[in-house]
Structure 1
Amino acid sequence: MATDELVKTTGIAQHGAERLPSVDVDSFNIEIKDEDGFLGDRASKGAFREVLERWRKPLRKTGEDPFGKVPTEEINKKTLDAILVGDDTEASAVVHSAIEDFSQELAYVTRRFLKTKAWAKTERIVVGGGFRDSRLGELVIARAEIILKSEDFKIDLQPIRHHPDEAGLIGALHLAPSWIFEAHDSILAVDIGGTNIRCGVVETSWKKAKDLSKAKVVHSDLWRHADDEPTREGAVKRLTKMLKGLITEAENEGYKLAPFIGIACPGVINPDGSIEKGAQNLPGNWESSKFNLPASLLEGIPQIGEHDTAILMHNDGVVQGLSEVPFMQDIDRWGVLTIGTGLGNARFTNRRKESGKEKDRDSTENGKKKSKND
C-alpha cells in the first residue's frame, strides 16, 4: 500500500514516511558535497571547535592564549557562554572571532541547501541540536541570518523553541494520527543519538491545544550508551527496559498512555523500519538487513495497556523539526537544521492551514526575494 493510501485509511504512516499527518517531508538527511567533502561537516560541533582552535593557535605561539593550556575539545559551551559576558576581553574576542567564522560557514551551508530543488521556496529554518542550547549557538544563528539577508535571501533563521533534548521527544507526537489523542493523553517517545538514548512520556495537553502547542515531556530517562559501549542487542534490551519503566511510571500516575511509540533515529529510515545508512555512530551494526529496531521493540512491548503497540520511526532531524509544527502555521514551507555531531536537515511543507492565513505561494523562490519585475 502506498504511503498516501496508508495515511488516509489508518492514519498511521510508514517508517520514514514522506507524508505525515501535518506535513509532507520534502527531504531529509541530504548529503551535499563540495571540494572539501560533506557540506554538513562544515557546520557541526566539531567544526566550531576547529574554528576556535585556529584562532587560539597564533596566540599560543606567543604565549598570549587566554585559555592557557586547556585543550580546545575540553572547553564546553557553558565556559564559552560565561566568557562572552565576562571581563576577559581577550578571551571574549577569541570567542567572538570564532562565532563570526562559524556563522559564515553556517550561512554558506544554508545557502547551498536553499539552492537545491528540495529546499526551493523555503521561508523559515529552525536550528536545533545540542549546539543551539547556548548563548554561543544563538549568536551564531542570528549572525548567519543577517549574512543571508544581506545577500537578499528572504529567509528567517531561529533557534528551536524547545530544549533540544525535549524537542526530539515532543516531535514524536506529530508522527501519530490525531485520533489517538481523543482517547489518550500521552505517548512514549524515543530519541536515539550517537552518544545518548533518551526516552520520555510526552503529555499531549490536547484538551488545552489541539495543535499540540502545549505538549510537554513529563517523564524522561537518559542512558549515555557511549560510555558503556554495549552490543546492538544489549542496547535494544536496555531501551526496552527503559520504556517499560516509563509505562509503569505513567500508569501509576494516572496517565492514559496511547499504544504508540514514536522513535527518532539517525540515518535514512526505510519503510520497513530498517536503516539504509547514517547509523554508524550507534552501538553495533544498525544498518544490517537482519536488524529492525521497531520489530525488536514490538517483541519486548507487544501491548501498552489493553491495545497492541504501534511504532513509527523517522529520522532524528525530522522528528526534532516536527516539534515546531504548531508554530509554523503562518507559512507554507520550512526546514530544520540540527547542529550536533553532524548536521541534520529536513524540509517540510505544511498540509493543514488555518483559514485566512494562506500566503502567496509564488512570493518566494529558492528562498530569495522576487523583484517586481520577475
Structure 2
Amino acid sequence: MTDRFVFFISVTLITISILFSYSLSSFTILFYGYGEFHFMMRQIIAGILGVLLMWGISRCNPDRFILPFGFMLFLGGIFIMFIMHFLPESLATSAGGAKRWIRLPFFSLAPVEFFKIGFITFLAWSFSRKFSLVETKTLKEEFITFLPYVGVFLIAVYLIAVLQNDLGQIVLLGTTLAIMMIFAGSSFKLFLYLLSGAFGLFVVVIVTSAHRVARVKTWWAGVQDLVLSFFPASIANSLRVENLPEPYQVEHSLNAIINGGMFGKGLGNGLVKLGFLSEVHTDVILAGITEEVGFLGLIGVCVLFVVLIFKILKIANRCENTMYYLFCSGVAVLLGFSFLINAFGISGIIPIKGIAVPFLSYGGSSLIANSIMIGMVLAISKKSRMI
C-alpha cells in the first residue's frame, strides 16, 4: 500500500512554498515590474504539475518503471547538460557566465535537477550489483570496485562544476555518493580515504576559481571572530585576516532570523525582502520564513522535513529489493543534505552554496524533480514489506 503520509507531507511543503512565493517576492516584483501574482501563479502551476506527477508515478509498477525512467533521466541529463553549453543565449539561460537552464516556451528547465534523480537511480542499480551487505572485501578490492564510479563522478564534476560553474550541486552529489556507498555495504575505511581525496579535489576546484575564493573569504569574514576567540590572543592575531569583504548575505539572513523572534512579524510583514536580500523566495527562503512566522514556524518546517526523511528511510528499511532500498536511502540523503546545506549556509556555518530548499524554494524545475523523486519512493513503498 502506498505511504500516504509521505504524500501529504510533500503536498504540505508545496503549499507552504506557494504561500511564501507570494509573501516574499514583493521587492523582486516591483523591481522588475511583474504582476502582483507573477511568482505565486508560476509556483502554483509547478505545484499542481508536481502533485499530479507524484500521484501518477506512485501508481506505477516500480519493477517496470523505476529503472528505465531513472536511466533515461541519467543519460538524458548528461547529454543535455553537455550540449546546452554550446547552445545560443536564446535557448540556454546563463547565470554568472555559465549556462544552467534550457529555455522552453513558458518556463526554464534546469537539467541538473532531473539528472540528480538519474544519478541516484544509477548508483542504486550499480551498487546493488557490485557491493554486498554480507560479503566482506579487502580495501584493495573495494578500491577496484569503486574506480568506475570515480569516472562517473568526474563526468558530473565537468558537466556541473566546470561547465555550469555550480560547485554546490557537486558537493551534494558527492555526499550522496559517499553515504549511499556506506548503505551498500562498503567499509568505513574506504569512506575515509575517499573523503580525503574528495576534500583535496574540493580545495583544488576552489583555489582555481576567483569567485569561489571570494566566497570563502566572505564566509571567513563572518566567522573568524567566533573561531579565533577559542585561541590565545597571540595565535588569534597571527591567524586573523584583515580587509575581508563584508558577509552581506549572511548578515542580513541572520538579521531576518533574529528580527522574527519566536512568533514572527506576520505574513507579509517581513523587512529582509524589501531589497536587503535579492529574491528571498529562492535560496534564502528559510530566513524569510523565519522573519515572518518566527522561530516556531521554522521549527514546524524542520519537523516536516525530519518526518519526511524518517518516513522515506522507513520505506527503505522495509524494502527486500536492494536496489529499492538504496534508491530510497539516496533520496532521503539528497533531500536531507539539500536542506542542511542551505540552512547552514544562511546561518554562516558554511559558505553559501546556492542549493535550493527542497519543495520550499521558488523554482519549477526543483519542485517538479523533487515531486518525481517522492512519486518514485511512493511507488516503491507498495512493494515494501509491512513491519
Give the TM-score of the pair, scaled to structure 2.
0.25
Q: Name the one with the larger helix percent.
A: 2
Give the TM-score of the pair, scaled to structure 1.
0.26
Q: Name the one with the larger strand percent.
A: 1
